[in-house]
Structure 1
Amino acid sequence: MTRPQVKLTRPALIVIDVQRGFDDAGFWGPRNNPGCEANIEALLVRWRERGWPVVLVHHDSDNPASPLAAGQPGHEYKDGIDGPADLVVGKCVNSSFYGEPDLHAWLQREGLSEVVICGITTNHCCETTARMAGNLGYDTYFALDATHTFDRTAPDGTVVPAEELARITATNLDGEFATVVSTAELLKA
């Protein structure tokens, strides 16, 4: 079955937690999708060329040992991610909708009904934000290849590879909370 072409009007690009602290493989473990950051950068370039809204989100960990703790070098955005943004949201939970300033209120004030989600990590903050966006009624697009995640240990002690977690996230979201798309599809839209 061929999927219909992605058609966008004026979507907000929500770039979630693309922070230097996620480069700490000793803390997080093995990751998938080494092309994630390049895909996010390509989306940012296209959005800024079109004058579409960009939202940058950062995680403010309240754990001082976390690479994402405010005031630590890992809290900063990765190279190529910073730059002009229409809104910058700080959060200390998984959903970008529970941060400051209020993302939902801002999207409503701006009259935006479409969102594109990318960032780190696929199955945590990105998936949670996509689920909430879908439940709040936004036309939600999830740029799977512009996200990445890390291997995780399951409750039974087995390791679930990052690639499998990403595939499961895509399966959970697509058609229910969001439309899962590629960076290439979004760049053509």
Structure 2
Amino acid sequence: MEITSNAALVVVDVQKGFDESEFWGPRNNPAADENIASLIAAWQDTDRPVVFVRHDSNKPGSPLRTGYEGNDFKEYVEERRGKGGGPELLVTKSVNSAFYGTPDLDDWFKAVGITQVVLAGIQTNMCVETTARMGGNLGYDVLVPLDATHTFDLTGPNGWRLTADELARASAVSLHGGGFARVVTTGELVAAVRP
């Protein structure tokens, strides 16, 4: 696997509010946080760019609302901010795609010559998938380490309910099969960036 020297790691919405299980319901992939942490370390240790994305919800009851503790990054993310030798950016957003945040992610990528993007974080089938689809549409080489994401069970129309694992697999199939992104593993990425 070829990972460019300036491939950006985009860490999506790894916030304390997602630990409030009574709000979100059952989740999948308990190893996601450990995998996200290892990607951040690998990117920072090799001086690659890291983008931290924070969801600032404008919904009054959301665990991710601004001014509430749940809006904060999880400790292992906050501890790593500012620790890398490469460029770092904080993007805030109130919608699913990090490309509709502040500052403009597409503009920043173009200004520093980034063409390859790795997306990890929460939720697999929401903000990670939406950002991956937009990144693919914008012409970026997008990689999604599925094991560095997680999501929650969800009910849709007609009472249809999918488990978090089913939703993650559906996202992986849509992204990879649809040509928006390559779905990979954390291990493959870490091995590719570490000499």
Measured against the shorter chain, the TM-score band is over 0.9
1:107 maps to 2:102:
no
The CA distance in 2 between the partners of 1:180 and 1:158, in whole Å, is 26
User: Aligned residue for 2:156?
Assistant: 154
Aligned CA RMSD, in angstroms, stands at 0.8
User: Aligned residue for 1:3?
Assistant: none
1:40 maps to 2:42:
no
Q: TM-score, normalised by structure 1?
A: 0.96
Can you list the C-alpha shifts for 1:72-91, whole angstroms capped at 9, x where unaligned? 00000001112127100000
The CA distance in 1 between the partners of 2:182 and 2:128, in whole Å, is 13
Q: TM-score, normalised by structure 2?
A: 0.93
Letter in 2 for 1:25: S
User: Aligned residue for 1:134?
Assistant: 136
Can you list the C-alpha shifts for 1:105-160, whole angstroms capped at 9, x where unaligned? 00000100000000000000000000000000001001100000000012121320
1:8 maps to 2:10:
no
Structure 1: gaps spanning 5 or more residues: 1-5
Runs of 4+ more than 2 Å apart:
none
The CA distance in 1 between the partners of 2:163 and 2:71, in whole Å, is 25
1:179 maps to 2:182:
yes
The CA distance in 2 between the partners of 1:140 and 1:159, in whole Å, is 29
SS in 2 for 1:128: helix
Letter in 1 for 2:2: K
Structure 2: gaps spanning 5 or more residues: none
Identity %: 52
User: Aligned residue for 1:49?
Assistant: 45
More helix by share: 2
The CA distance in 1 between the partners of 2:71 and 2:62, in whole Å, is 9
Letter in 1 for 2:154: R
User: Aligned residue for 1:71?
Assistant: 67
Q: Shift of the alpha carbon at 1:187?
A: 0.5
The CA distance in 1 between the partners of 2:21 and 2:151, in whole Å, is 11
Letter in 2 for 1:157: G
User: Aligned residue for 1:22?
Assistant: 18
SS in 2 for 1:145: helix
SS in 2 for 1:141: strand
The CA distance in 1 between the partners of 2:105 and 2:67, in whole Å, is 23
Q: How many residues align?
A: 184
